[in-house]
Amino acid sequence: MSPPEGSGRGRPRDESREQAILEAALELLVEVGYERMSMVAVANRARASKATIYRRWSCKDAMVVDALRRRAPAEHVPADTGSLRDDLLIEVGLMACATMEVGGGLLMGVLRAASESPRLAEVIQDHMVQQKAALCGCALQRAAARGEIPADLDPVPLAEAILSMILTRQLLGVGPLDEQFVAHVVDDVALPLITGLASRLPSPSNV
C-alpha cells in the first residue's frame, strides 16, 4: 500500500497510530459533518499532535480519502460457479455484507461529504461504482464465453442498479440486506436488466 498523501519521509510509520487517527476522522465526519470537521478536531479526538496530523496529511481531504481507501473491501477474485445467476448471487451478497460493515451513519456522512468535495466524490465513484462494475464485467464476460448472454454488455448500468438498491435499503433502513434481498436484486433487477441490455445490441446480421 502506498503511503498517505503528505506523509513524511525518513520517519518510522506507526500503522496502529495512523489507523486510530483515521478512525477518529471518520467518527467526526459522521458526528459533525464534513464542513465542520477539522484537522484540529481530529487531532484532539485521536489525542495526537497537530504536527503529527499535518506531517502525514496535507488537508482533511487527503485524510478522509486515505481513511476511505483503507475501509474499502479487499480485492478478490470474482466468483466463477459456471452460472451467471449464481455468480451474481455471490457478488451481490459480498456487496451487501461490505455495506453492512460500513454502517448507515458512515455511509450518509460520506455521501454528504462527497457533495462538498469533488475529490471525495471521485474516490467514491472509483470504489463504489468502477470497482463493482469491474466485478460485474468479469461475471458478464464469463457468462458470454459460456454462451449464456451476448458479449460486449456494458457492466456499468448493472453495477449502478445493484449499488443503488443496496444503498437505498441500508440508508433508509427499510429491510435487512439478507439472502432474500440479494435474490430479489439478482432475479428481479439484475437478470432482467442484463436481458434488456442484450436486446439493445445490434443483431449479427446488422453488424
- Give pLDDT tens digits for 53-99: 999 998 888 898 888 888 877 777 888 999 999 999 999 999 999 88
The structural architecture, per CATH, of the domain 74-206 is Orthogonal Bundle (1.10)
Residue span(s) of the chain under CATH 1.10.357.10 come to 74-206
Residue span(s) of the chain under CATH 1.10.10.60 come to 15-70
Question: Please, what is the Cα angle at 42 between 2 and 71, to 5 degrees?
Answer: 40
> Cα separation of 159 and 127, whole Å?
11
- Write down how long the chain is: 207
CATH topology for 15-70 is Arc Repressor Mutant, subunit A (1.10.10)
Q: What is the pLDDT of residues 131-170, one digit of tens each?
A: 899 999 999 999 999 999 999 899 999 999 999 999 999 9
Helix, strand, coil percentages, rounded to 5, for the chain:
70, 0, 30
